[in-house]
Amino acid sequence: MRDKPCGGHGAYLNQGRGRRMKVTVRMDDITPDMDWESFAAFERMFDRYQIRPLLGIVPENRDEKLAIGPAREDFWEKMRTLQKKGWTLAMHGCHHLYRTEERGAFPLNFRSEFAGLSEEEQKRLLQTGRRILEAHGISPKVFMAPGHTFDRTTIRLLSQMGFSYVTDGYGRMPYRRWGMTFLPISFLRSRMFQKKDGFTTLVIHCNRCSQQELESYEKMFLEHRDSFAAYEAYLSAPAKKQSCPARAAEYVMAWGKGQAAQRIGR
């Protein structure tokens, strides 16, 4: 999907520097017991190339696949320190446990922590996650769904709870849908650095990242260092209402990518 920006978007992005897609970074699965060695390697790279990413914090991790090592005792202090450094913090679900096999409104995966659950159960999970974060001095405006899956009920509840953004969807600029601003992610990494106006997001999972993968990221950050933008800049980019054709195209793209990923995983 390649939405044309509405009036004013081009001027906002170019500012005399020529056409270039601005790339932001989000890192999923941030937990006290994550792979801290890999996380530290990324933190050094982010500092080196002045990248201020979005971190998706799981409020109360119950997913054994995300538990890589001993829980870091100063986890919440570390998150608040990174926030003060200009990093953006998001709520990444509640427990990171997939409860249904629903694909939801953005069908990139075949399972969800939220999509398909009753409104009462979704509300309980979302309120629980938010209370945990707020108890540690973190009040996120951005929501990151585990598996990228959510439904309309999820979005309505998020809006009622004070969330302003969801990091998901496809497109080249933020868009409005169901009273929420969506911040699209990259469909293909090969298309991230196009000479076109817009924003996109590189999604990173740092757990068990190999040395080869880390070197690949280092090379990317170095070669395209002028393309990366702080995630906070994405939050202030103007958003327009998503059109019906754009919504349909987004759904087809996500469904197709999900189907391809499932075939590869077999």
The span from the CA of 181 to the CA of 122, in Å, is 20
Domain boundaries, the chain: 9-265
User: Phi-psi region for residue 208, left (φ > 0), alpha (ψ -120 to 50) or beta?
Assistant: left
Q: What is the pLDDT of residues 115-159, one digit of tens each?
A: 999 999 999 999 999 999 999 999 999 999 999 999 999 999 999
Is residue 256 helix, strand or coil? helix
Task: List strand residue ranges (DSSP E) for the chain, in order.
Answer: 22-30, 54-57, 88-92, 142-144, 165-166, 175-177, 180-182, 199-204, 240-241
Contact residues for 183 (Cβ-Cβ < 8 A; gap 6+):
24, 142, 165, 166, 167, 168, 169, 174, 199, 201, 234, 235
For residues 166 and 149, the answer to whether their CB atoms sit within 8 Å is no
pLDDT tens sequence for the chain (266 residues) = 333 333 333 333 333 345 788 999 999 999 999 999 999 999 999 999 999 999 999 999 999 999 999 999 999 999 999 999 999 999 999 999 999 999 999 999 999 999 999 999 999 999 999 999 999 999 999 999 999 999 999 999 999 999 999 999 999 999 999 999 999 999 998 889 988 889 999 999 999 999 999 999 999 999 999 999 999 999 999 999 999 999 999 999 999 998 887 776 54
Residue 201, amino acid: T
Place of tokens 């598996």: 147
Strand-strand pairing, 142-144 and 88-92: parallel
For residues 56 and 144, the answer to whether their CB atoms sit within 8 Å is yes
pTM reported for the whole predicted model: 0.90
Q: What are phi and psi of 37, to 5 degrees?
A: -65, -45
Q: What pLDDT, on a 0 to 100 scale, did the predictor assign at position 18?
A: 53
One of 3.40.50.1370, 3.20.20.370, 2.60.40.1180, 1.10.10.60 is the CATH number of 9-265, namely 3.20.20.370
Q: What is the pLDDT of residues 177-206, one digit of tens each?
A: 999 999 999 999 888 998 888 999 999 999
